[in-house]
Each structure stands twice: as C-alpha cells, then as structure tokens.
Amino acid sequence: MSKAIEITNLTHKYTQSGAQEVVAVSDVNLSIEKGESIGIIGHTGSGKSTLISHFNGLLKPTSGDVVVDGTNIWADKETLRNARFKVGLCFQYPEYQLFEETVYKDIAFGPKNMKLSPEEIDERVLRAAEFTGISKSMLEKSPFELSGGEKRRAAIAGVIAMNPEVIVLDEPAAGLDPAGRKSLIDMIKAYRDSTGSTVIMVTHNMEDIARIAERLIVINRGKIALDGTVDEVFSRSDDLVQWGLKVPEITEVFTRLHNMGCNVPRGVYTVDEGVKILSRVMRGGAGLG
Ligand SMILES: Nc1ncnc2c1ncn2[C@@H]1O[C@H](COP(=O)(O)OP(=O)(O)OP(=O)(O)O)[C@@H](O)[C@H]1O
Ligand SMILES: [Mg+2]
C-alpha cells in the first residue's frame, strides 16, 4: 500500500526582492503512513507552516519531491488538483480561509470545487457543520460575525466537507481558552476515530499534542531534529529546551515527584491524566495501579 505522504529532499527557499533569501525548509525527508496521527512541533519560525504547505501543493518545492498516495503531486495540473482534495489543509489563520458571504458558502467552497451535485454539496455542508458544532443559524451568518473558536470550527468544517484522506491542521487551537482548546482537540480526535483519516497537527502546545498524536516530529531551523513516539520525544527534555520547546508542566511535576520517590509514573502528559493518578494516590491506592 502506498504511503499517505512521502517527502524526499525537500527544500524551500523564500526569495523577496531586496531581502535576503530564507531557507525555510532544508533537505527534509519524511514518510507518513495512512492512518497515522502526527504532531509537528517547533519554535516560531522553524519552518512548520512552510513544510506542511507542501503536503497539498499550496507551496511548490524549490527542490525535492512530494508524493501523495503514490503519485508525485506536481506531475500535472489534474494530479495537483486531486492532491488538494486528498490532503485538506486548515490554515494557521482561519481568516485566510473564510472569505465568502456566509459560513454555509465557505464550507461549501471545497465540495463545489470538487464539482459534486448540489444535493451532495448540501449534505456535506450540513454533516461537516454538525460535526464541528456549527449551528443552522450560524451557517447563515457572515464568517466575520463568528467568535475566534467558531471561526476555527468553520474553517475545519470547510476542510472536512471535502472528505480528505489526510487532514492537516496548523495551530487549530491557537488563541482559544483551555476549555475551547480541549473541545477542539476532542473534536479532531473524534473525526479521526470515525473516519480513519491521517491527521497531522502543528502546534506550540505540548499538552494539546500529547492528547492526540502518536508520533511527534520536532522541526528546528528547517530540519527534522527528532522524529519518534510521544514518549521518546518527551523524554528528551534537555534537547527540547535547545530547540526552544519544553515538555508540558504537568510532565515536569510528575517527573520530580517520581524522582523524589513518590509512587507515581513518569510519562504523564496531560492534566486530566495527572488528576486521575493523584486522586488514586490520595485514596490510598498506588499511582501506577
Ligand atoms: N512568505 C514568506 N516570505 C519570506 N519569508 C517567509 C515567508 N513565510 C515564512 N517565511 C520565513 O520562513 C521561515 C519559516 O517560517 P514558517 O512560517 O514556516 O515557520 P513556523 O514554524 O510555521 O512559525 P510559527 O510557529 O511562528 O507559525 C521564517 O524564517 C519565516 O520568517
Ligand atoms: Mg506557522
């Protein structure tokens, strides 16, 4: 079976007149299996958005290849078009994705481009809206009337309405409060569970990523600094600091408790998990039990 995405020797340089050339992605090799749930983390400016914008051909490599589902997406126009439907990209700033008069039209934009029948388009819009918690009345509003969280949901609805095999989300929970973040991440998780799609998420938030990803890729200065399971990556806290990142606070707390001799495990990555363990310990049971 072909891989969901296969990237070889990908380099992307930005050139602007009068400005110095920036090498945002530098000779990256990356292979993503179908159905994987991947987190991409890295300091501001490390090249995350540039990298993922190659997954559906939004950016063209300066050099290197991008193969989606076994086909080089730059082979011809038709292949590129199909790659845009297969790999749904949710932008870092939802404002860039929402531009129609109504939320309904925005969500319908992708399915319309796919040249589906009006009935199918309507069905897809309503299904995506329901899944993302966009109410019927919200569908008739202008996207500019929505709150930050609603805009994110509308942008995600527009992507999932295309039924993509791969969904790529760039900082989907940025700017939301903790409850908003959690419900958004839970929604993405539910989407993956119900569709089996490949999910790739970029975030600065280590707790968010621990909730959803199985594999983590650390980007530093346009290169892959580390690629491994969540446990593998989070156990390298000294290296993470070097790359401008750090493990979740809750993980540090549990590592210290563990090192002090408390009967609690190390790899605890979310506050929910930490609370469960502590309440067991306080009831007299072992934290590990
Ligand atoms: N359109 C552009 N023109 C010129 N340089 C750019 C452009 N977009 C990004 N860059 C530069 O490329 C590098 C990588 O940027 P990119 O946006 O991919 O990083 P990022 O990891 O997504 O950052 P953030 O976490 O802030 O979103 C940075 O040095 C950035 O300044
Ligand atoms: Mg970015």
Summarised one tens digit per residue, pLDDT across range 52-68 is 999 999 999 999 999 99
Q: Cβ(173)–Cβ(208) under 8 Å?
A: yes
CA of residue 200 to ligand 2 center, whole Å: 13
The answer to whether the beta carbons of residues 39 and 12 sit under 8 Å apart is no
Output the average pLDDT for the chain: 92
> Considering only CA atoms, which residue is closest to atom 28 of ligand 1?
45
More confident residue, 17 or 91: 91
CA nearest to 84, candidates 48, 58, 115, 106: 58
- CA distance from start to end of the chain: 40
The pTM for the full model equals 0.92
Choose the weakest-confidence range: 69-73, 74-78, 94-98, 188-192.
94-98
pLDDT exceeds 70 at position 255:
yes
Ligand having the closest approach to the CA of 170? 2
Give pLDDT tens digits for 196-224. 999 999 998 888 899 899 999 999 999 99
- Residues spanned by CATH 3.40.50.300 within the chain? 5-247
Nearest CA to ligand 1 atom 17: 49
- pLDDT beyond 50 at 115: yes
Protein residue whose Cα sits closest to atom 25 of ligand 1: 44
How far apart CA 80 and CA 83 sit, in angstroms, is 5
Residue 16 has pLDDT above 90, yes or no: no
Ligand nearest to the CA of 40: 1
Q: Looking at domain 5-247, which of 3.90.1310.10, 3.40.50.2000, 3.40.50.720, 3.40.50.300 is its CATH number?
A: 3.40.50.300
